[in-house]
Chain A
Amino acid sequence: MKRELIHLENIAKSFGSLLVLDEIDLTIYESEFITLLGPSGCGKTTMLRIIGGFESPDTGRVIFDGKDITKLPPNKRPVNTVFQRYSLFSHMNVEENIAFGPKIAGKPADYIQDKVKYALRLVNLDGYEKHDVTKLSGGQQQRIAIARAVVNEPKVLLLDEPLSALDLKLRRNMRRELVRINKETGITFIFVTHDQEEALSMSDRVVVMNQGYIQQVGTPENVYNEPENAFVADFIGDSNIIDGVMVRDKVVRIFGREYPCVDSGFPAECPVDVQIRPEDIKLAAPAEGAFNGVVTRVVFWGMSYDINVEADGFEWLIQSTTGRTVGEEVSLYVAPENIQIMSKPQSEDEEVAQDV
């Protein structure tokens, strides 16, 4: 059984009249890799800063290991942060940067030396002790920032979009590295990103946020395959989101046609959002599938094609490994288990306020 480490209790935060976080309740477990995912301005960074102690919430409490740490300053918290732009100390070399925390903590010199060595090995930069941090590449600087944080043996490592400044290849590498360090050290990782690919590929659990509210918490598979609302469906991966009406259990009406699905429990004639992933749509010869349409656009991505098909006045997005030509007449087919039914928000507010 996983042990609860951090509990955020009914947290709200405003900057002036701007509400950035509201009704935040979240439990974070020991040693897990949890990602706060959302578009910019969704409050994910503020949430991280509240855990780090750089912001204090207007209401609510931060419970750490059973103790209320809401009022504790950053230097007294058992957490360390890896900042977005690394924030290394430019007037110190690699060794001095990493040794900063242990030195402040008053650790003995030989202990610090061992620890620095260990931290550098952990981030694959053995022998870089005397290097000038400003002369390192972005990826190396990021590794040093990680080493500088983990050397303090924090219970929790906060990572604020640490990979956003790196190029694609390096980013992929660092993703694997971070997961490895998480498993190797057992430190709880709280990772903030707006990149859904990053979130899905690294995390044990993903917290999807929008406009200051938590939209859904779940495993990567969970939030991808069973999004709880249109925002999550749209934000994570590509989606076709269609207005539909639930006819009865396991039957949904879209574009005037009744179609089998696997969801039940909605009231009859209840308006719903219907989500279909582009890779779940199969293209067939005209009249063979459920909807007839015309190909309007084809984009080749290397591994697959993005194909737009217009049918019943709706622009469908389809991902396929085989290409099509613009103007071609096709029909679409979706397996019932690939149709995800989501309840529609009752009002404008509820679109963001939907509870987990």
Chain B
Amino acid sequence: MFNRGVRNILLTPFLIWAGLFIFIPLVCIVWYGVTDYDGNFSLANLGLAFKHGYIDALKLSIVLALISTVICLLLAYPLCLILTERQRDNTTIISLLFILPLWMNSLLSTMAWQTILEGNGIINQLMRLLSLPDLQLINTPGAIVLGMVYNYLPYMVLPLYISLTKIDRRILEAARDLGANSWQTFTKIILPLSIPGAISGITMVFIPALTTFVISALLGGGKLLLIGNIIEQEFTFQYDWHVGCALSVILMVFIVLNMLLTAAFERKEEEP
């Protein structure tokens, strides 16, 4: 579309931006992560991540992020399926249901969940009205998962919806024509063709869920620490940039792994 010179000029602003604000900070994080307080090379801080306390937070983060991702997928898939089934253009419904919540400040909505779930929160007040025993809702893994699903569901719905609408209706007719019933059409045609959308939805939910510290801080009450909270504490309370950066590097490894997996799947889709 553009010749080389024009392309370079157009790209320059972003390259400067990326260099200054993405590449250099990344190098700094890795640098801090692999050096000790005297500036010597050391893997001690990275190794710390596998010690008691840190590894527990990492495990909990991965488990909760995985659970949230699965729940998002299970909630979003049938919905998207029905929306694409009924008629072709549901853009309005989609934006009302899923884009609008994105306009709401996520901190605000998470705090709203806090007031709903807490000891004297709305749910427990209702329980008391009905003379039922109080429920321990806040500060549980369940509360954190709820917060994650609430915040990240739109990121699952959008790519899934797009990939499902991209499936040509005539392909489904072809499957019916060749003898497939509705269930077989779903499992053999719709499901495999929607995998790219599911994969990008999974990535878009899993990564923020893995790294969040706001949701776990508000709904975990400082008792359930995710890796995001530990990193935050290293910087804001311990002032230990080396450990904080080392943990960030470990987290990055998981994110890169996830992205490699996604890329592998997408390549497989394109050229089997």
Contacts and interface: CB of A to CB of B under 8 A. Distances in A.
Interface in A72-113: 73-75, 79-81, 83-85, 87-91, 93, 100-101, 104-105
A148 interface: yes
Interface in B173-193: 173-181, 184, 188-189, 192-193
Contacts of B162: none
| Most-contacted residue by chain A among B188, B192, B193 (CB, 10 A) | B188
Contact of A90 (B173, B180, B181, B193): B193
B179 A152 contact: yes
Interface string B244-272: 00000000000000000000000001011
Contacts of A148: 178
A104 B173 contact: no
B193 A75 contact: no
Contacts of A54: 173, 176-177
A52 B272 contact: no
B38 interface: no
Contacts of A81: 173-174, 177
A149 B192 CA distance: 22
Contacts of A91: 192-193, 269, 272
Contacts of B168: 85, 87
| Most-contacted residue by chain A among B168, B174, B269 (CB, 10 A) | B174
A75 B177 contact: yes
Nearest to B189: A89
Contacts of B170: 83-85, 87
A61 B184 CA distance: 28
Contacts, number: 62
A74 B173 contact: yes
A93 to B, nearest CB: 7
A351 interface: no
Given A52-B177, A75-B176, A104-B180, A87 B171 contact: yes
A148 B180 CA distance: 13
B175 A80 contact: no
Given A90-B193, A91-B192, A132 B271 contact: yes
A273 to B, nearest CB: 40
Nearest to B192: A91
B179 A75 contact: yes
A80 B178 contact: yes
Interface string B85-124: 0000000000000000000000000000000000000000
A75 B269 contact: no
Interface string A95-138: 00000110011000000000000000000000000001000000
Interface of B: 168, 170-171, 173-181, 184, 188-189, 192-193, 269, 271-272
7 contacts: A52-B177, A54-B173, A54-B177, A74-B176, A75-B178, A81-B173, A104-B179
6 smallest beta-carbon distances between A and B, as pairs: A101-B178, A87-B174, A104-B179, A74-B176, A87-B170, A81-B177
Given A75-B179, A101-B179, A148-B178, 19 more contacts: A74-B173, A75-B177, A81-B177, A83-B170, A84-B170, A85-B170, A87-B168, A88-B171, A88-B174, A89-B189, A90-B193, A91-B193, A100-B175, A100-B178, A101-B178, A104-B178, A104-B184, A132-B272, A152-B178
